[in-house]
Structure 1
Amino acid sequence: MSSKNFQTWEVTTPYLNLHCALGEGPYYEPATQTLRFVDIKNRKLHTVSINDPTALTTLSFNEPVTVTADIEGVDPQDKILIGAKRGLAVLDRKTGEYEYISKIEGEGVDRIRSNDGAVDPQGRFWMGSMTDFGKGEFRPEGSLLRFSQTSSPQIALTDLTIPNSVGWSPDQKTMYFTHSNAREVIAWDYDPSPSSSSPLPLKNKRIFYQHRGKGEPDGFRVDVEGNIWHAVYGESRVLKLSPEGELVGEIKLPTRNITCVEFVGEELFITTAGDDDAEEGEESKELGGGLYRIEVGVKGVGHDLFKL
């Protein structure tokens, strides 16, 4: 695409400056007009009004909570699905207690925690696993797993270091997955029919986008036109990628470590992480870990619901 058609946006101040160590997983709840998101390192789940940044509630946990989703037929004000240290669990939001429904298996699971993920068109949850904090350098010991309530997790990919977001095209016939440290977004042809349970409904694996910058692609969401809005950790920006995998726009932010995005109408809410490499008083440090918002003129495809 020619440079004259390249779109740019800039957001300079956070909507909410919580100083998250690792803000992640933003998820919009239309019924309550709230956005929930996690701070993985600080083991917290925050919920904030999209109309009033002071209307904030927080749940704290004794292990990392990494991602959330809604459950079919269940009021998300009561219970939601969460990725926790050892796998997939159901959280009671009133008590803060949760119960595992499926756990990550295999050798060395004590070293592993969950990471990002999403519900597929059939109501199952795809989620990555990776080296937990406090276990030394991240190793290629993670996987991309598909969870359901009826069976053990199925393994789609292994030998991953930082598996990240999962998502689908608007017609649900393409599945995307980001492997952050490889700086690549992978695509497969995907069978969205309800009968596609086993084997895994993935064919024609290919690299959809290879990132050339110094940062790493982190979390993303897909819009109704098929573009991917991709946060980049370490580059102070969100990329807009066309359905063909071309870079067609970017959002610039005032802090370095951008982690994920979420659509609320035609606005994008953006989570970030702290910037430990910045000097005290430097803008990236002062504004790192904040939640940002900006109008982008297109809606997202929304979320599927987990079938419990």
Structure 2
Amino acid sequence: MMLQAEHFLTMTNQLGEGSFWNADQQKLYWLDIKQKRFFRMDTRTKQYETFDVGAQIGVMAPRSGGGQIMATDEGLACWDDRTKELTIVANPLQGKANRRFNDGNIDIKGRFWAGSMCDPPDTCPTPQCALYRLDPDVSLHVMDTGLGMPNGLVWSPDNRTMYLTDSPQQVIYAYDFDPETGAIEHRRPFVRTHGEPGVPDGLTIDSEGFLWSVRYNGWKIIRYDPSGKIEREVSVPVPHPTSCTFGGKDMRDLYITTAWNELNEEQRHQYPQSGDLFYLHTDIKGVARRSFSG
């Protein structure tokens, strides 16, 4: 089954990314990594706010006490919505050239997970990036190493399996996950994606336990069933979709971010909607992002 995403809002984000739905606020959030800002939108009116942070944000999530938790090119940090200030809480990448944090998520116990990447990506000749977990007490743990570029990260509905995208390795991994301790083990390929155009990027999961994997430079999103079989695809009319998330009142609206960051001038003219938001109303309910408990 091939579905077609619709244009939702003109944004021209250089590197739109990190979309998530805040269920308490009923608002859509997303990032422009290269422009060092994030956005918050009421999808019913399409009215949005822009927040300039001053750091490249790879992933962010709400904090239970207010504000946001972020993984940035300056480290893991808290953003205060009132003062508009960023406070670094840990920076395991300090002193590592051409490294920044990329994508991540919040687990069932409110722990913040984020992976590192090389920027530019070709500055890592071998897989040498890592996955980190920041606990509510602000203790930091290295959870896995030897990754090419940790990207989209989600958990199964029963919270017993964690899925992690490694973009340059063209694989989505599955791990056994202990929801009580936050431990992971038994990394194995869930799907290898070398036969598909582009590379796997952002990832979300729906209430049925199916994964929606965005194909950067692949013009589409692929929905995998829990066995790893392709169930349907969503065509996006620009080459670089980056992330997707469910939102809306009934959590059945899929919002998709895109980018123009790696397009040349001719390609930008050819695909002028690159960097905009796209949308698909589905018959499937998604899952909102959890809050960091720290």
TM-score using structure 1 length: 0.87
Deviation at 1:81, TM superposition (A): 1.0
Alignment of 1:268-307 (within 5 A): 268-274=254-260, 276-277=263-264, 279=266, 282-284=269-271, 286-307=272-293
**Letter in structure 2 aligned against 1:144:** L
1:10 alignment counterpart: 4
Deviation at 1:52, TM superposition (A): 1.9
2:100 alignment counterpart: 113
Alignment of 1:154-303 (within 5 A): 154-193=141-180, 196=181, 201-211=183-193, 212-264=195-247, 265-274=251-260, 276-277=263-264, 279=266, 282-284=269-271, 286-303=272-289
* Aligned mate of 1:86, from 65, 74, 87: 74
Deviation at 1:87, TM superposition (A): 2.2
Matching of residue 123 in structure 1 with residue 110 in structure 2: yes
Deviation at 1:42, TM superposition (A): 1.2
Q: Which runs of 5+ in 2 are unaligned?
A: none
1:150 alignment counterpart: 137
How many residues align structurally? 288
User: Residues 93 and 100 of structure 2 are in contact (CA less than 8 Å); yes or no, is this contact kept in structure 1?
Assistant: no
How far apart, in 2, do the equivalents of 1:281 and 1:63 lie? 25
User: Residues 103 and 153 of structure 1 are in contact (CA less than 8 Å); yes or no, is this contact kept in structure 2?
Assistant: no
Deviation at 1:192, TM superposition (A): 1.3
Deviation at 1:32, TM superposition (A): 3.2
**Letter in structure 2 aligned against 1:90:** C
1:38 alignment counterpart: 31
User: Residues 21 and 289 of structure 2 are in contact (CA less than 8 Å); yes or no, is this contact kept in structure 1?
Assistant: no
3-state SS, counterpart of residue 109 of structure 1: coil
**Letter in structure 2 aligned against 1:177:** L
1:77-127, CA deviations, whole angstroms, 9 ceiling, x for partnerless residues? xx1111121322110123321112222246x42431111001112221110
How far apart, in 1, do the equivalents of 2:138 and 2:39 lie? 30
User: Residues 128 and 164 of structure 1 are in contact (CA less than 8 Å); yes or no, is this contact kept in structure 2?
Assistant: yes
Change (3 A) 1:205 1:98: same
Change (3 A) 1:281 1:214: closer
Moved more, 142-151 or 38-47: 142-151
Q: Which runs of 5+ in 1 are unaligned?
A: 1-6
Deviation at 1:143, TM superposition (A): 1.0
Change (3 A) 1:281 1:205: closer
Matching of residue 132 in structure 1 with residue 124 in structure 2: no
User: Residues 197 and 215 of structure 2 are in contact (CA less than 8 Å); yes or no, is this contact kept in structure 1?
Assistant: no
How far apart, in 2, do the equivalents of 1:151 and 1:38 lie? 24
3-state SS, counterpart of residue 208 of structure 2: coil
3-state SS, counterpart of residue 279 of structure 1: helix
Higher strand share: 2
User: Residues 9 and 276 of structure 2 are in contact (CA less than 8 Å); yes or no, is this contact kept in structure 1?
Assistant: yes
Moved more, 169-178 or 297-306: 297-306
How far apart, in 1, do the equivalents of 2:167 and 2:275 lie? 19
User: Residues 103 and 152 of structure 1 are in contact (CA less than 8 Å); yes or no, is this contact kept in structure 2?
Assistant: no
Deviation at 1:161, TM superposition (A): 3.0
User: Residues 213 and 222 of structure 2 are in contact (CA less than 8 Å); yes or no, is this contact kept in structure 1?
Assistant: yes
User: Residues 39 and 66 of structure 1 are in contact (CA less than 8 Å); yes or no, is this contact kept in structure 2?
Assistant: no
1:41-96, CA deviations, whole angstroms, 9 ceiling, x for partnerless residues? 1111111220122x121111322012111222x24xxx111112132211012332
How far apart, in 2, do the equivalents of 1:83 and 1:145 lie? 10
How far apart, in 2, do the equivalents of 1:306 and 1:99 lie? 15
**Letter in structure 1 aligned against 2:50:** T
3-state SS, counterpart of residue 9 of structure 2: coil
Change (3 A) 1:151 1:69: closer
User: Residues 102 and 149 of structure 1 are in contact (CA less than 8 Å); yes or no, is this contact kept in structure 2?
Assistant: no
